[in-house]
Amino acid sequence: MDLRNSVLATFLSGVLMLTTSSCKETYPPTNLTQHSVIPLPASVMATNQTFVLDEEVSIRVEEGDESFKNEALRLAEMLRNATGHDFEVEEADKPAWFGNSIMIKKAAEGQPLPASGYVLDIQETQLSITALSAEGVFYGIQTLRQILPSQVEKTGELQSPVLIPTGIIRDWPQYEYRGMMLDVARHFFDVPAVKKVIDYLALYKINTLHLHLSDDQGWRIEIESWPNLTTHGGSTEVGGGEGGFFTKEDYKEIVAYAGDKHITIVPEIDMPGHTNAALASYPELNCDGKATELYTGMKVGFSTLCTDKEITYEFVNDVVREIAEMTPGPWFHIGGDESHSTEQEDYEYFMSRAREIVKSHGKQMIGWDEVAHADLDETDVVQFWAKEENALLGVQKGAKLLMSPSKHAYIDMKYDENSRLGLDWAGPSEVDDAYNWDPVHLVEGIEKVDILGVEAPLWAETIETLDDIEYLMFPRILGIAEIGWTATENRRWDEYRVRLGQHRDRMKAMGIDFYESPLVPWQEEASFFMDIEMTGEGDE
C-alpha cells in the first residue's frame, strides 16, 4: 500500500506540474499609441503586450541620488493613494529586476537625451523611467500617470490589477519655458487655490507659473519695508470685494510647493503703470505728493509712478530686493505694459533703471513687449502679447521672446459669445484658437532661436473662485502645454481634438470645472481593469 500510494502521489504531482506549466495568463492585445498623452510625446513605439501593475510590484532606484529617490517616492505615493496598496521603494548600488518591477534610472553620460527628457520603457515584467535629471523622471511619471486610468486621480479608486500596454516612449520639450500666468491682483486667490493651479500645470508638464502680484486694483505681496502696500493697497479688488494678500510665509510656501513639482515661480510687479494700489498707499510715489483713491474698476492706463523722484527708485529697489530674496528662479517680471499716462521719454528712462535694479539683485528681467523700447541685452526677455514691431525690436537688441499672443494665448478670453466668464477684446478664443498657432510663425523675422518659450496669461477681471479659474483654464491650457512641449511638425488639430476628448474623465476625476467645447469629441474612457483569465495552451 505504501508503494502504491507513493507511485500515485508521484503521478498526481507530475500531472499538477504539467497542468500548471501549460496554463498562462492571457490578455487582449494592447496598443500604447492609442492612449491619450498630452503633450504629445516625441515618439511612441507600441510592442502590444502587457505589464501588470498590482500590489506585488516593487519600485527600485539607484542608491545615493536623493533627487531620484524623491521621484521614486512620489510615484509610490501616487500609486498608494490611488490603490490603497503599499508600494515599497528599494535602493541598491546596482538595482536589479526582480518580478514585476518599476525602475527609476539615471541615464548614462553621453546618452542622447536632453536634460529634461526621459525614456519610458514598458516591458512585460519591467517598467523603467530613465532620465538625466529628476525633472526628466518627474515628466516620465506624469506620462505614466496619463497612461493609467483616470481613477488614479482619486483616492482608493484604482482597482488592481491594472494592465499597462507595453512600448517605448522617448520624449523631451521643444521650449525651455512653458508657462501660465495667474492674475491675483484684480481678484485675489489664496494659497490653496494657487496650489491647485500648480497641481494642474504639473500634470501637463508646464514648468513656470507667473504670478501677477500688483495692479491698480490691489497689491498682493507683503513688503516689510513698505507695509501699507498690503494693509491699504491690498484691501480691495475689482467690484469692491475685500481683497487680500500673501504674507511672506504664504509666498515662500507657494514657491516651495511649486519647486517640488519642478515649476518655477515668476513674480511680477507691474510698473510704472498699473500702480494705483501703490499710489493710494504711499502719496510720495505720486508727482503731486497726494495719495490716490483706491480703485475697483476695470479700466487701465491711467496710473503711473512718478519717474522724476528718487524715492520711486528706492521703492522699486526695496520691492524687488524683498521678493527676489524669496524667489529662487532666475526671472523677475517688471510689467511695463499700457503705461499710457507716462511720457515715452520718462517711460524708457524708468524701465531702464528698473531693469538695472532687477539685475543688481541677481535676476533676469521679463517685461511685456512695450519694454523693447528700453535698454536691453541678451539676458532680458520681452513677452510678446500685442505689437509685432515690439517683438522684432526686442530681438534686434538681443533679448529673447516669450510668446503670449493675446488672440491665441490669453485664456481669460471668452470661448464664444455665450461664455459665462471672460473678456472679449482679443477674442472670442475657442479651443482650436488656443491650439492652432506656432510661436515661430507669429511674427515675420522671428526664428525659433529667438524664442524662450510660451505662456498663457489668465487675467482675473471676471473670475472670483477656483471654479472660475478652472473654467477658463480648461481645456485651453492643455493646448498651450502641447505647443510648448511638442514639435510643430507633430501637431495636428484633428488628431489633438480626439486625444483631448479622451481627457474628459480625467478632468472629471480631478474635480475640474471645464468647458465642454462642441469642437471636441468628448468620450468616456475605456476600461483598463480586466480579470486575469487562465487558459490552457491547447484550449480553443
Catalytic residues: 338
Write out the three cell numbers for 145.
500617470
Compute CA distances 417 → 226, 412, 470, whole Å.
43, 13, 19
Q: Where do the H-state alpha helices sit in 185-331?
A: 191-203, 228-231, 248-260, 276-281, 310-325
HSE (side-chain half, CA atoms, 13 Å) at 129:
27
Residues 69 and 92: beta-carbon distance below 8 Å: no
CB 274 within 8 Å of CB 216 = yes
CA 150 – CA 476 distance, rounded (Å)? 19
**What letter does residue 503 receive in the DSSP assignment?**
T
Q: Identify residue 168 by its one-letter amino acid code.
A: I
The answer to whether 390 and 351 have CB atoms below 8 angstroms apart is: no
Is residue 415 within 8 Å of 422, Cβ to Cβ?
A: yes
Would strands 162-171 and 177-183 be described as parallel, antiparallel, or unpaired? unpaired
Question: Is 459 within 8 Å of 412 (Cβ atoms)?
Answer: yes
Cβ contacts of 468 within 8 Å, gap of 6 or more: 421, 462
Which amino acid is present at 216?
D
The whole-angstrom separation of Cα 225 and Cα 240 is: 26
Return phi, psi of residue 53, to 5°: -95, 115
Yes or no: say if 421 and 471 are a contact pair by the CB < 8 Å rule: yes
Looking at residue 295, its amino acid is Y
* Ordered DSSP codes for 497-525: HHHHHTTHHHHHHTT------TTS---PP
